Amino acid sequence: MTRDTKRGAGFPLRLDQVDPRRGTSPGTVLRPQRPLREAAADLARVPAAAGLGLDSDGVRQRMVDRLQAQGLRDERVIAAMRAVPRHLFVDTALAGQAYEDTSLPIGLGQTISKPSVVARMIELMLVRQPQGALSRVLEIGTGCGYQAAVLARVARLVVSVERLRPLHERARENLAGLRSSGLRLVYGDGRIGHAPNAPYDGIIAAAGGEDLPAAWIDQLAPGGRLVAPMHDARTGGQVLMVVDRQPDGRIDRSVHEAVKFVPLKSGVD
């Protein structure tokens, strides 16, 4: 972990400002998205999910069992992953794979992240609050709404921003039938966050860029934690970057696993 003793200094944050030797977990790359051609091929060959018992608690429990075997420990995340019906957030033809640890296409060149990556990032975000729910969380990149639904189980208010209008509308439909009174969906530019509901105890991003936008750091509450993928110029890939704002305003940063997310873009489309 490296430490920046100046309040808010060094942002937008670039990876060449961070010591990669501290906080890095060795191992395989976490790949929330497979190559789209592979995921799209599934759509053509998987039959419609009829009578698969996807509404049963058992099928989600088996997914959670696998996540726990991989190291998931936070009981809040375990309960949230068990409760949210992931098959409702994917195309019907792919619902049979909804509880496998795989990404699936959701349109517009985007995918729903692997359950293991969703669980890992949320667990990392919760480390600084060992008990109870976070007060406010900002999600950058709503996608189909699955991660937002999981976040709504571990935070009292979740503000989720999506720049692609069709995905914003799809997420709104997907979440309409679920318990989501503390969830607000925003159509807008995720790079600028969402200042009206700031500051946030947690910020989590589902897209990675060359840097971490200064707006995200500005909107992070004292004691809060940000988890986001970020480009690593040394390898050409991405890593998970964790940013902690200390109660006195100091910023701590640490580098974690290699990941593979879609690019972070500005504006709306």
Domain ranges of the chain: 2-32+112-259
Nearest Cα residue to 147 out of 223, 66, 228 = 228
Cβ atoms 112, 143 nearer than 8 A: yes
Of the chain, the end-to-end C-alpha distance in Å amounts to 36
Which amino acid is residue 18, in one-letter code?
V
Nearest Cα residue to 218 out of 185, 195, 197 = 195
Fold of the CATH domain 2-32+112-259: Rossmann fold (3.40.50)
For the chain, give me the number of helices (H) and strands (E)? 7, 12
Give catalytic status of residue 25 as yes or no.
no
> pLDDT digit of tens for each residue in the chain (269 aa)?
444 444 444 556 666 555 554 554 445 556 665 565 665 565 555 444 433 578 778 999 999 999 999 999 999 999 999 999 999 999 999 999 999 999 999 999 899 999 999 999 999 999 999 899 999 999 999 999 999 999 999 999 999 999 999 999 999 999 998 766 799 999 999 999 999 999 999 999 999 999 999 999 999 999 999 999 999 888 889 999 999 999 999 999 999 999 999 999 999 98
**Which residue is catalytic, options 25, 56, 103, 113?**
113
Cβ atoms 225, 202 nearer than 8 A: yes
pTM of the model: 0.81
